[in-house]
Amino acid sequence: MSKLKNNYYFISFSELVKYSLREAELLNEIIINYNNINLKAEIAKMHEIEHQADTANHAVVFKLIREFITPIEREDIIAICQKIDNVTDAIEDVLLRFYMYNIKSLRSDLTDFVKVVIASCKALERAFEEFPNFKKSNRLKEYIVEINNLEEKADRLYTNAVRKLFVETKDPIELIVWEEVYLRFENCCDACEEVADAIESVIMKNI
Cα(180)–Cα(171) distance, integer angstroms = 14
Count of structural domains, the chain = 1
Q: How many CB atoms lie within 10 A of CB 41?
A: 10
Check residue 162 and give its pLDDT: 97
b vs e for 115-132, b when ≥16 Cβ sit within 10 Å of the residue's Cβ? bbbbbbbbbbbbbbbbbb
Cα(162)–Cα(167) distance, integer angstroms = 9
Contact 61, 176 (CB under 8 A): no
Give the DSSP letter string of 123-165: HHHHHHHHGGGTTT-SHHHHHHHHHHHHHHHHHHHHHHHHHHH
Cα(203)–Cα(138) distance, integer angstroms = 11
Q: Which amino acid is at 19?
A: Y
Cα(59)–Cα(203) distance, integer angstroms = 24
pLDDT means per 10 residues, the chain with 207 residues, are: 67 97 98 95 97 96 89 94 98 98 96 98 97 89 97 98 96 97 98 97 87
Q: How many CB atoms lie within 10 A of CB 6?
A: 10
CATH of the domain at 25: 1.20.58.220
Residues sharing a CB contact under 8 Å with residue 122, sequence separation 6 or more, in sequence order:
21
Domain range for 105 is: 2-205
Q: Which amino acid is at 92?
A: E
Q: Which amino acid is at 71?
A: P
Cα–Cα–Cα angle for 72, 139, 158, rounded to 5 degrees: 95
